[in-house]
Structure 1
Amino acid sequence: MEYRVANGVLLQVVPTDKFKNMKIMINLTSPIDHRNFAKLALLAELLENASAKYRSEMAVSRKLSAMYGASYGVSVLRYGNQHTLQIKMTYPNDQYLPDDHDLTAEVFAFLKEMIERPLVVAGQFEQAYFKIHQTNMINYLESIVDNKEYEGTLQLQKLYYPNDRDHGDFLLGSASEIRKITSEELLRYYRQVLAQAEVTVLVGGHVDSGKILAEVRRFKTFKDRPITSYPLLVVPDPVQQVAIKRQVITGSQSVLSLGYQLPIYFGSQDYFAAMIFNQLFGGSTRSLLFTNVREKASLAYDIHSNYSSLFGMVTVQAGIDGQNEKRVTQLIHEQLDHLAQGDFTDELLMGIKRSLINQHRSESDHLGALMDNEYLQHITKFSISDNDWENQVRLVNRSQLKAVATQLKLRAIVALNSGEVSHANH
């Protein structure tokens, strides 16, 4: 059920009696713009940990404990071309509480406080509080280089999208960008977000829609705002050749990352074939990459692929010995060739389909996964029932999978090669 609270403000109620918890998800969204990455990331930190009433992390924690152990979090996400500040809250359903406790009203009052009354003093975020979280963010961003897999992913992203900082830059910005932000500037930006970002509120669980709508209408900032139309799906600019970056790193393990363009997107005709292709390629422990590169050839500590359906992108990452880079790259290409030729067993395909269906069913046992899926279907305008989803998985055939494999186009390779030599073993 959808309710238009104001222009650019939507409430979506997801009624279900399956869970004892309730979940609220508030999304403040804008078209992607790398110039705002650092600001929104730091803002998420500040909004999560204090407000005018709850002036410390401890005060927020105590309030959450008093609300029967409710959980609260703020994060930033990139859904294709959409930049999102996402606020989530989970709490017990009122009907399971003693003394007819109206926890829903209390939770919405808490959210209203955290969103609309940040910890502000004299026209800026309280300076000591701001500095603590600014420093924490800087320290975190400077430490990423020590996580070689994550560093490889970020470098591949930058190489995959040359001259496109909206998709090539790290979503949390850089340490130097965080350092430049002032408390006063960030508050001005937040007020702009509250006034201009599109708002989508999702509430899931055993709900009274009328009561929820009344609570959402109490937010003073959820008023009319302009709606900006932009494409959600990301189509990268064409490239003439594969971009390659090699870098020597410390440690015993090297990291090899490859990025392929796959022009098949969420909800499109070949989406289910692309999803199953990824599981066959490297998305599961039954996959060709895992079986043939890690298990049989013993050339990788770990290897996996990932399909990003809003970006039309498949990535492969492997932890290897640097001396084996050429051989591992060759083997990865060979597994892709096997799939393009339909060279895989019926047993493997059926097993992958069963695993996907079982995973999909288990996700329906989690309210958070249900809500995330509802939101994705909302922004992509692609809605499908659980039964239809399972049927689409079952219908994918060998010829469709071969057609998917032939569409992959390698765009970027990042090799973080260790100066030390070790030996892959399991």
Structure 2
Amino acid sequence: MEYQVANGVKLRTIHTTKFKNTKILINFTFPAHSQNYGKLAMLAELLQNCSAKYHSELLVSRQLSRMYGASYGVTVLRYGNQHTLQIKISFPNDKYLPSKERLMTEILEFLEEMIEKPYISGVGFNQAYFEIHQNNLVNYLNSIADNKEYYAVLKLQKLYYPNDPDHGNFLLGSGREISELDSKSLYSFYQQVMKTSAITILVAGEIDDQEVLQGVEHFRYFVDRPVTKYELRVMPQPVESLQSANEKIDGSQSILNVGYELPVYFGDEQYFPAVIFNQLFGSSTRSLLFTNVREKASLAYDIHSSYNSLAGIVTVQAGIDYQNEQQVLELIPAQITKLLHGDYSDQLMDGVKQSMINQHRSEADHLSAVIEKRYIQQIMNIDYPDTVWEERINSVTKDDIKKIAAKVKLRAIFALNSQGANNENNSLS
């Protein structure tokens, strides 16, 4: 069921008796602007670890333990052009509690405390508390370069969107941006988020709608706010030429990242062929990239592709030896050519389809996957019932895949080059 709590505040309840837990997601959303990335990342840190009543991580942890081991977290996400502060909590269904008590009301009161009563001093977040988490976040951001795979992903992202910081910049901002924040201005930003962002609440499990609705209506910030409409899908600005860059690193393995435009989005007529194209290309262990580049040619330690259907982008990441980079760069588009010409077996197509259907069915066994899928469909205003989803997957043909392959356009390449791999001991064979 869906309820309009206030203008710009929606509640959706998802009834299921399949799980022993209940899960709540609260999403505060607004258009993605890079100047807010560091602020929202810092705000997520503060709202997760402390409140006026629970003014230490230990006190928060103790309260979660009292609520039968409830799991609570705050994170920052980007869905296409949407910037999201997501607050989530998972807790046991009442019927599994020893005293048969009603936990929902206590959980909602806890969320109200953590969201609406932050740990402040005067007109800003408590300074000592603020500085602890500011330093933690700065240290984390400064350490990302040590995670070479993740670092390469972020560098490709920046290359892919060279003149678009809203999509090229890292979602959590930078260490410099975080270090420049102060507790007073961030508290003002917090108030702005609470008062102006669109709010979507999803509650899934064995629940009483009226109990949830009454609890949600008690939040003082869940009141009318202006609603800003904007396009969720990311349409990248054209680039005049291929964007490419590389950096040298120590170690025995190089990392190659490649970004392709694929202007097909969630809900488009060609969406399902695009999903299967990605599986055939590099997203599964049956894929052409895995089979032909890693297994047959022995040119990659690992290679895979991913498809972002809200950004219209397909990326490839490969762990390789430096001296094999040119060969890999030739073999990657060669697999797209195979898909363009239908040069792969019907058995591969059938196997990929069946694997996707099996995975889709297994997601129904995970409450997090159920609620996340409903949220994506809600923000895109598109609903794919399970039977329709499977029918659309099974109806995809080789001709459909050819049309997708014809749309793919190389846009960016980033490489972390380690020339330390030039020795016989690093052979992949």
Give, as a single letter, the amino acid of the residue that structure 2 aligns with 1:370.
V
Q: Could you tell me how far apart the structure 1 residues matched to 2:420 and 2:133 are?
A: 37
Q: Could you tell me how far apart the structure 2 residues matched to 1:240 and 1:339 are?
A: 26
Matched, 1:425 2:424: no
In structure 1, what is the equivalent of residue 153 of structure 2? 153
Give, as a single letter, the amino acid of the residue that structure 1 aligns with 2:428.
N
Matched, 1:250 2:250: yes
Q: CA deviation at 1:43?
A: 0.6
In structure 1, what is the equivalent of residue 2 of structure 2? 2
In structure 2, what is the equivalent of residue 340 of structure 1? 340
Listed one character per residue, the Cα deviations across residues 228-275 of structure 1 (whole Å, up to 9, x for unaligned) are 011000010111211110111111111100000001000111111000
Listed one character per residue, the Cα deviations across residues 57-110 of structure 1 (whole Å, up to 9, x for unaligned) are 111111111111110000000000000000000001112223331100000000
Q: Could you tell me how far apart the structure 2 residues matched to 1:273 and 1:188 are?
A: 46
Give, as a single letter, the amino acid of the residue that structure 2 aligns with 1:425.
L
Q: Could you tell me how far apart the structure 2 residues matched to 1:140 and 1:59 are?
A: 24
Listed one character per residue, the Cα deviations across residues 314-364 of structure 1 (whole Å, up to 9, x for unaligned) are 000100111111110001011111011001111111111111001001101
Q: Could you tell me how far apart the structure 1 residues matched to 2:151 and 2:158 are?
A: 11
Moved more, 270-279 or 89-98: 89-98
In 2, are the aligned partners of 1:320 and 1:424 still within 8 Å (CA)?
no
In structure 2, what is the equivalent of residue 359 of structure 1? 359
In structure 1, what is the equivalent of residue 98 of structure 2? 98
In structure 2, what is the equivalent of residue 43 of structure 1? 43
In structure 2, what is the equivalent of residue 309 of structure 1? 309
In structure 2, what is the equivalent of residue 415 of structure 1? 415
In 1, are the aligned partners of 2:38 and 2:173 still within 8 Å (CA)?
yes
In 2, are the aligned partners of 1:301 and 1:424 still within 8 Å (CA)?
no
Moved more, 55-64 or 108-117: 55-64
Moved more, 120-129 or 269-278: 120-129
In structure 2, what is the equivalent of residue 231 of structure 1? 231
Aligned pairs for 1:22-33 (under 5 A) are: 22-33=22-33
In 1, are the aligned partners of 2:282 and 2:304 still within 8 Å (CA)?
yes
Q: Could you tell me how far apart the structure 2 residues matched to 1:344 and 1:305 are?
A: 18
Cα distance 1:35–1:424, how it changes in 2: closer, same or farther (>3 A)? farther
Matched, 1:405 2:405: yes
SS in 1 for 2:26: strand
Give, as a single letter, the amino acid of the residue that structure 1 aligns with 2:198.
E
In structure 1, what is the equivalent of residue 70 of structure 2? 70
In 2, are the aligned partners of 1:29 and 1:83 still within 8 Å (CA)?
yes
In structure 2, what is the equivalent of residue 219 of structure 1? 219
SS in 2 for 1:98: coil
Q: Could you tell me how far apart the structure 2 residues matched to 1:37 and 1:408 are?
A: 30
In 2, are the aligned partners of 1:50 and 1:119 still within 8 Å (CA)?
yes
In 1, are the aligned partners of 2:23 and 2:367 still within 8 Å (CA)?
yes
Q: TM-score under structure 1 normalisation?
A: 0.99
Q: Could you tell me how far apart the structure 2 residues matched to 1:170 and 1:31 are?
A: 15
In 2, are the aligned partners of 1:300 and 1:424 still within 8 Å (CA)?
no
Listed one character per residue, the Cα deviations across residues 181-209 of structure 1 (whole Å, up to 9, x for unaligned) are 00111111001100000000000011111
Give, as a single letter, the amino acid of the residue that structure 1 aligns with 2:229.
S
Aligned pairs for 1:385-400 (under 5 A) are: 385-400=385-400
In structure 2, what is the equivalent of residue 274 of structure 1? 274
Give, as a single letter, the amino acid of the residue that structure 2 aligns with 1:418.
S
In 1, are the aligned partners of 2:300 and 2:319 still within 8 Å (CA)?
yes
Q: Could you tell me how far apart the structure 2 residues matched to 1:206 and 1:379 are?
A: 23
Listed one character per residue, the Cα deviations across residues 158-183 of structure 1 (whole Å, up to 9, x for unaligned) are 00001100000000000000000001
In 2, are the aligned partners of 1:299 and 1:424 still within 8 Å (CA)?
no
Give, as a single letter, the amino acid of the residue that structure 2 aligns with 1:8.
G
Q: Could you tell me how far apart the structure 2 residues matched to 1:27 and 1:142 are?
A: 27
In 2, are the aligned partners of 1:8 and 1:227 still within 8 Å (CA)?
yes
Q: Could you tell me how far apart the structure 2 residues matched to 1:147 and 1:420 are?
A: 18
SS in 2 for 1:343: coil
The aligned length equals 426
SS in 2 for 1:99: coil
Q: CA deviation at 1:28?
A: 0.2
Query: RMSD of the alignment, in Å?
Result: 0.9
Q: Could you tell me how far apart the structure 1 residues matched to 2:260 and 2:103 are?
A: 48
Q: TM-score under structure 2 normalisation?
A: 0.98
SS in 2 for 1:387: helix
SS in 1 for 2:421: coil
Q: Could you tell me how far apart the structure 2 residues matched to 1:124 and 1:343 are?
A: 62
Listed one character per residue, the Cα deviations across residues 27-79 of structure 1 (whole Å, up to 9, x for unaligned) are 00011110000000011011001111111111111111111111000000000
Q: CA deviation at 1:424?
A: 4.3
SS in 1 for 2:264: coil
In 2, are the aligned partners of 1:308 and 1:314 still within 8 Å (CA)?
yes
Matched, 1:61 2:61: yes
